[in-house]
Structure 1
Amino acid sequence: MSTRTEAAAGQEIGDDELITAWGLLHEALHTTGPLLLRDIDPSEGDMSGPWFEVLIRLQRSPGHRQPMSKLAREVSLSSGGFTKLADRLERKGYLARKSCPSDRRVVYAELTEAGQELANEARARHVVLLREHVLRPLGEDGLRTMAELARTLRDTSLAS
């Protein structure tokens, strides 16, 4: 088995370079991620990152709702972990569970009016942080390249 991989440009990528590149990506996500959630909603200081991701995904979905099982997968939570998070969001009045009229097995998570307001406020703060900690260091071209590369990795992984 070869210890080198052919790159598209014809140059060989060594194992150490490959491991380092992946490690740098992991470190960048690990160190930048918390910066992007800093003070996202001071009134909800006890909520972790997944609550924000749930609110934003629902905000951007048609009708501000998605099946709970799909949402759990998209935010990388187990069904039990997502249920606990949904319970918290529901208790705080940000999310409501709605049954699907055509399939009793499907339950939707839907943003309430308060959830939409919170999502709007959190999104505005998140955009400021993204501009500061992602767009400023990468620039417009770097951001677009990053998005294209991330989409390629995601789509390739989903197809596997």
Structure 2
Amino acid sequence: MGTGADTERITDDDLITSWGLFHEALLATTPLLLRGIDPSGKDMSGPWFEVLLRLQRSPQHRLPMSQLAREVSLSSGGFTKLADRLERNGYLERQSCPSDRRVTYAALTEKGLALAEQARARHVALLREHVLAPLGVEGVRALAEQARRLRDNARQVSAGREKK
């Protein structure tokens, strides 16, 4: 966490400019990182790729639907619509939890796992081109560290508000 002395070294305008540049960079880079991700050529815009990637990287290629919705920043209703679409396309299936009837898992099918692996390989190539090439190894590591700090701080603040 920054100290009081750290916060005094930057002007309000510099702080606004820094955050604005980060936001602009994210908005400009994100479409580049999704270009050609869906090998079927269909428009599967939205957080579908993040859902497949998170499931592909999870044990047994499944996660509780409520957790997955939170992780991809969707409401439960929005996530249900996305899960319905992925299920209709044969990429995802819902599985009941044998020990807790309240829990339903989203799990990749074989077709979903194959799509996730293809999409991941393309995404990594695009990350290397549009993130690693301009930032370098140390820049990517520094970006990850700063992003982790921001994420963890936001979670801590949110958790504190929920307790009140």
1:78 matched residue in structure 2: 75
Measure how far apart 1:6 and its partner are: 6.5
Contact in 2 for aligned 1:69/1:79 (Cα 8 Å): yes
Match of 2:153 in 1: 156
The verdict on how the C-alpha distance between 1:82 and 1:10 changes in structure 2, with shifts beyond 3 A counting, is closer
Conservation of the 8 A alpha-carbon contact between 1:35 and 1:129: yes
Q: Is the 8 Å Cα contact of residues 6 and 13 (structure 1) preserved in structure 2? A: no
Amino acid at match of 2:63: Q
RMSD: 1.6
Runs of 4+ with deviation above 6 angstroms: none
Unaligned runs of 5+ in 2: 158-164
Matched with 2:160 is none
Following superposition, the deviation at residue 59 of structure 1 comes to: 0.4
For the structure 1 residues 8 and 37, does the alpha-carbon distance in structure 2 shift closer, same or farther, using more than 3 Å as the test?
farther
Contiguous gaps of at least 5 residues in structure 1: none
Aligned-partner Cα distance in 1 for 2:155–2:116: 28
Sort the Cα spacing of 1:79 and 1:53 in 2 relative to 1 into closer, same or farther, 3 A: same
The equivalent of 1:101 in structure 2 is 98
> What's the counterpart of residue 143 of structure 1?
140
Q: Secondary structure at the match of 2:47?
A: helix
Cα displacement string for residues 70-123 of structure 1 (whole angstroms, at most 9, x for unaligned residues): 101111111111111100100010000001111111110000000000000000
Kept after mapping to 1: 8 A contact 2:93/2:106: yes
Shift of 1:156: 1.1
Q: Report % sequence identity.
A: 71
Structure number with higher relative contact order (C-alpha < 8 Å, ≥ 6 residues apart)? 2
Aligned to 2:161: none
Find the residue that maps to 1:36 and give its secondary structure. Answer: helix
Letter in 1 for 2:90: G
**Structure 2 Cα separation of the partners of residues 46 and 10 of structure 1:** 44
**Aligned-residue offset at 1:7:** 6.4
Specify whether residues 123 and 157 from structure 1 end up closer, same or farther in structure 2 by C-alpha distance, changes over 3 A only. same
Separation in structure 1 between the aligned mates of residue 42 and residue 28 of structure 2, nearest angstrom? 19
For residue 22 of structure 2, the aligned residue among 13, 21, 25 is: 25
Moved more, 60-69 or 8-17: 8-17
Counterpart residue identity of residue 136, structure 2: G
- Residue 36 of structure 1 deviates from its aligned partner by 0.2
Instruction: Identify the residue that residue 162 of structure 2 maps to in structure 1.
Output: none
Superposition TM-score, scaled by structure 2 size:
0.90
